[in-house]
Amino acid sequence: MEKEVTIYDIAKQLNLSPATVSRALNDHPSINSNTKELITAKAAELGYRSNAFASNLRRQRTNTIGVIVPRLNSHFVSSVLSGMEKVANERGYNLIISQSQESVKKEKASAKTMFNGRVDGLLVSLAYDTEELDHLDVFIKKGIPLLFFDRVSTHTKATSVVIDNVKAGYDATAHLIEQGCQRIMHVTGNLKRNVYTDRLKGYKLALIDHNLPYDESLLMITDMSREAGIDVAQQISNMYNKPDGLFITNDLCAVSCMAALKKESFRIPQDIAVVGFNDDPVAQVIEPNLTTIHYPGEEMGEIAAQSLINHLNGLVNIQTTNTIVLHFELVVRESSVRTTG
């Protein structure tokens, strides 16, 4: 392997001190422009590369932020990461991104890698089966700021960025009731996660406020996949007392379910009105277009990254607040709108 060129090699060739070369390459004002040009040209000629990693270690900073997400094959997660990347790049930080694939075991391995990689801060959206947070406590003990987003957990030393999932679940369900639905099925994910427990809570509160009974048989807990949507449609088709409304907390699962229901000759929204969640692009591809909750993923990513970086730079202490709550919006489309007679 060819030996790496150092500032000492450049200094020797130009008969200058290593300190002068270092200052010139860092554009220090004490070095005149002619000397800077001479040193820069020689550095390019010799193929010199700045060792940012070593420099950052000396400053106890790596200018990297770790991000752990449940999965990458999600439009919502992609939107969040886009927002994070935008802010990080503007502020001179790089992201190291890892996916847990909904496994706490992989989440722990990713956290360990991030910790050993000396990230300056960590942004986390929890896996389906994460219960204990021991693998993240090492960051807190080391003074490395930790911020949760979307799928969060209560931690006295960490901040969370979320939407009001209880209100979102309430609004989605209330909308279906206002359209005349009396038997509303709720399809959700693992109830260990705040997003799904809160949306279920909102669903139940809407039923109570509109004097409708909660029926356990109308709750389905799935992995929210495309395949799950097909399974839900099959179950609905086999039910004697079928639901007339359907609130699914994921657009991909909702769209898959709608397509399968249509194959079974269900008319949407006449026979069954449907509401999804996230406002993914697929919501406007399916016919009829899907009513959904607009979840501001990119904004969530921007605010999460901005909050963490501001904390790192001493501008704001993120521990002064437990939760940052973003706005959501119910986007009404044809899948749920029908005459109530």
pLDDT, tens only, 236-285: 999 999 999 999 999 999 999 999 999 999 999 999 999 999 999 999 99
Residue 60 pLDDT: 62
Rounded to an integer, the average pLDDT of 308-335 is: 89
Rounded to an integer, the average pLDDT of 224-245 is: 95
**Domain spans, the chain:** 7-50, 63-162+297-325, 165-296
Q: Which two tokens stand for residue 84?
A: 């994070």
Sheet with 94-99, edge to edge strand ranges: 94-99, 64-69, 121-124, 146-149, 159-163, 323-326
Amino acid identity of 126?
A: L
d(CA 168, CA 327) in angstroms, rounded, equals: 10
On whether the 63-162+297-325 domain is CATH 3.40.50.2300, my answer is yes
Distance of CA 19 to the CA centre of its chain: 44
Task: Please write the tens of the pLDDT for every residue from 28-37.
Answer: 888 888 898 8
> With bands split at pLDDT 50, 70 and 90, how would you rate the model's confidence at 341?
very low
Amino acid identity of 6?
A: T
Rounded to an integer, the average pLDDT of 90-106 is: 94
Mean pLDDT taken over the chain: 91
Domains 63-162+297-325 and 165-296 share a fold: yes
CATH number of 165-296: 3.40.50.2300
**Which residues on neighbouring strands pair with residue 69, listed in sequence order?**
99
Distance of CA 13 to the CA centre of its chain: 50
Q: Considering only the top CATH level, what class is 7-50?
A: mainly alpha
Assess whether pLDDT exceeds 90 at residue 1.
no
In 3D space, the residue among 115, 106, 111, 104 whose CA is nearest the CA of residue 144 turns out to be 115
The DSSP bridge pattern shows strands 245-248 and 273-275 to be parallel
Spatial contact of 249 and 196, defined as CB atoms under 8 Å apart = yes
Q: Which two tokens stand for residue 36?
A: 């800077």
Residue 55 pLDDT: 54
Residue 30 pLDDT: 84
Q: Which two tokens stand for residue 326?
A: 């973003």
Q: Which of 36-50, 79-93, 226-240 has the lowest mean pLDDT?
A: 36-50
- CA atoms 119, 137, 128, 329: torsion sign: negative
d(CA 186, CA 254) in angstroms, rounded, equals: 11
Planar angle of CA 332, 336, 341, nearest 5 degrees: 115
HSE-up (13 A, CA, CB side) for residue 113: 14
What is the 3-state composition of the chain as percent helix, strand, coil, each rounded to the nearest 5? 45, 15, 40
Spatial contact of 334 and 267, defined as CB atoms under 8 Å apart = no
Residue 59 pLDDT: 52
Spatial contact of 334 and 289, defined as CB atoms under 8 Å apart = yes
